[in-house]
Chains A and B, each alone.
Chain A
């Protein structure tokens, strides 16, 4: 396919720590018509430039001297959505480490170029990527509009029209199908690719679809083999650790992540994950190491947040390193001045620290301030933060507030075994295991009772009654994913019985969205979304 590429209209950013290289890439680009080329000498400067103006093409070296490398830059730009999918990212790398670049993570550059390269090769490679972007443009557009099924259809069309892109299109199609819960179909696609060639990404995809269908042990076997045969394919370690956590082997999960971190010590999301797994294992030394690395390597990174300093301080408190914890909190406040989120995180850990030090009054003062901030800004939105706040409350004699926080959390997801364990642990560590047991039992009971009553009603044919009860329950326990899903299911059953009703459908959709936001991987979610789609299709409604 010949395609005229409008190079004079393209805005290009070249990132390289070597001034000679930057200049020669710019000169080369000029020779095939690029007139607007900006230069950056490290990841930090690149991020700053990208925040200021949009680029069509980013050409970055993998090695950027001190600080973050090209892969981290790419991950940050994509994770923080600083660049749209249409922006081209070309990674330049020395031949010495190119396998690492290719397999570093699931976030891959559009293509890569191995040094030394010629002017013509750079030109050809850019042509190739831009042609590819054009071929996939309609699919990306459908994806951006949330029209996943249309995007899937377009993948099939692309395969028919441009067979050369078959494998790439199958890969995208499998990812799309997974995203709407069609794991069996996605699984067949991955198996189809593996039959041609056992490519690491296809093996990883297969393991993921198996995991999502509850075949956790099969997924583990595949991933063990993959990490053994392609030890540089780091995404496989991340998934293996998740699978091991699901199989209730948190120690092995931690070891798996530690193996990956040894191979590639700079990936912030993986370091944070290791920190959390280590916390769950009460291995506070490893948690401290992991978060210390996040804090150190994440300077100027959009992937670092005040919570990371707080987790570091928390790991230090847990090891009784109170002086270090104090220093970490000071650094936290200095890095994020006038940030209520940072202040809140600091106050929570400060309270834990004062409790440890035996300063009951200081501990109570800190936790009271944290509770006030939380009330004003709703800051305890994630599980770890909420549990820490609860721990601080209980430690500082704020019994009711502490219990209420844990109760709400358990209500939100009473089926999440790992969360329940954490809630029990919290009380166990305070020397009150029975209180934890009782509170968890009562909280589960409340959610289960409401849910069961509604399910019984539905089984007896009183769908209207079930809907009413469930919607009330969803009002009382807005974070409970199972109740949200059952409410949506009941609403859809009404549509099945009485025909399409836009009002009922909108309510069902709202509950589904709420559930998806809280736990996109709930085993029942895909089923109810599938039912919604089928009904919409049956009644000729596009969605």
Chain B
């Protein structure tokens, strides 16, 4: 992973360990909410928002801690071969439990390679973040895809919203950016994780476009 000369985040070790604790406690709260939603189906609708929010916070904390680790030079990728179709199946199952009947989720992986090499955990966090944004802004439809592209794997999340605002398109996730919604941090995380994937001299990329809505793509060499 490239370590920039200047750290992306100003964070002390004490703050990091506090964040770590908070993240674990929230994680357990999220698991408890999942359990209630499943065992009491009548309360599932009311719990949807709190569950999404709770997870979004957990994920932001995970992103912050991961980026902190990167700044400290301690982030090591755990690259293994994974089945992109299976990877998407996990992601979609997870998303379906949150979105309810409001949205249609379309999955495409017919042109995906049978396996590809990446850090499943980190890429999953990057995509979860994109999915949570999509859940927030999509009108009726989210499309999740995996395909072979340019000698690599292209993972995509696309919604039918009005698309990304201009400043995000201009920046392409290159700055952590101050943003109340956490979008800026999430995109910076995705950009960093893509960059950390390297193969035969090529690095991964985050590609943000407005193609019939907001289109988030992660290309992994």
Interface set of A (CB-CB < 8 Å, partner B) = 20-21, 24, 27-28, 31, 94-96, 98-99, 102-103, 114-121, 123-125, 128, 163-168, 196-197, 199, 230, 232
Contact = CB atoms under 8 A, between A and B. Distances in A.
B31 A24 contact: yes
Interface string B112-138: 001101000100000000000000000
Interface in B59-108: 62, 65-66, 76, 78-81, 83, 85-86, 89-90, 93-94, 97
B39 A95 contact: no
Q: Is the interface of A mostly helix, strand, loop or mixed?
A: helix
12 contacts: A102-B78, A103-B78, A115-B24, A116-B23, A116-B26, A116-B27, A118-B34, A164-B114, A164-B115, A166-B115, A167-B115, A196-B117
Contacts of B86: 128, 164
B32 A24 contact: yes
Contacts of A118: 30-31, 34, 55, 94, 97
B78 A124 contact: no
B114 A166 contact: yes
Contacts of B38: 31, 119
A99 B76 contact: yes
B65 A95 contact: yes
Contact of A95 (B66, B93, B115, B117): B66
B31 to A, nearest CB: 5
B35 A27 contact: yes
Nearest to B32: A24
B215 interface: no
B144 interface: no
B28 interface: yes
A119 B93 contact: no
Interface in B23-66: 23-24, 26-28, 30-32, 34-35, 38-39, 55, 58, 62, 65-66
Contacts of B207: none
B79 A199 contact: yes
B141 interface: no
B117 A128 contact: no
Given A164-B115, A168-B81, A123 B24 contact: no
A230 B76 CA distance: 9
Given A24-B28, A120-B93, 4 more contacts: A31-B39, A119-B97, A163-B115, A164-B86
Contact of A116 (B30, B90, B97): B30
A116 B93 contact: no
Contact of B28 (A20, A123, A168, A197): A20
Contacts of A103: 78
A94 B76 contact: no
A19 to B, nearest CB: 11
A124 B93 contact: yes
Contact of B24 (A31, A94, A124, A232): A94
A28 B38 CA distance: 9
Contact of A114 (B34, B90, B121): B121
A20 B29 CA distance: 10
B20 A121 contact: no
B88 to A, nearest CB: 11
A119 B31 CA distance: 6
Nearest to A159: B114
Contacts of B76: 99, 230, 232
A197 B79 contact: yes
B3 interface: no
Contacts of B199: 197
A166 B83 CA distance: 10
A119 B34 contact: yes
Nearest to B66: A95
A163 B28 contact: no
Contacts of A232: 76
Contact of A197 (B20, B24, B83, B117): B117
A2 to B, nearest CB: 10
Contacts of B78: 98-99, 102-103
A120 B121 contact: no
B131 to A, nearest CB: 13
Contacts of B89: 124
Most chain A C-beta atoms within 10 Å of own C-beta, residue among B39, B80, B85: B80
A180 to B, nearest CB: 25
Most chain B C-beta atoms within 10 Å of own C-beta, residue among A31, A119, A123: A119
Contacts of B66: 95
Contacts of A164: 83, 85-86, 114-115
A167 B30 CA distance: 35
Contacts of B94: 118, 120-121, 124
Contacts of B26: 116
Pairs of residues from A and B, 7 with the lowest C-beta to C-beta distance, nearest first = A116-B27, A167-B81, A163-B114, A164-B83, A119-B34, A124-B90, A31-B38
Most chain A C-beta atoms within 10 Å of own C-beta, residue among B34, B58, B65: B34
Contact of A98 (B27, B58, B121): B121
Contacts of A125: 90
A24 B90 contact: no
A167 B83 CA distance: 10
A122 B89 CA distance: 13
B70 to A, nearest CB: 13
Contact of B27 (A117, A165, A197): A117
A135 B115 CA distance: 16
A13 B47 CA distance: 30
Contacts of B31: 24, 28, 116-119
Contacts of A24: 28, 31-32, 35
Contacts of B34: 28, 118-120
Most chain B C-beta atoms within 10 Å of own C-beta, residue among A99, A117, A164, A196: A164
Contacts of B80: 167, 199
Nearest to B85: A164
A46 to B, nearest CB: 21
Contacts of A31: 35, 38-39
Contacts of B20: 94, 96
Contacts of A94: 20, 24
A305 B28 CA distance: 40
A94 B81 CA distance: 22
B142 to A, nearest CB: 16
B189 to A, nearest CB: 13
A20 B121 CA distance: 24
B48 to A, nearest CB: 14
Given A95-B66, A163-B115, A119 B35 contact: yes
B105 to A, nearest CB: 13
Contacts of A98: 78, 121
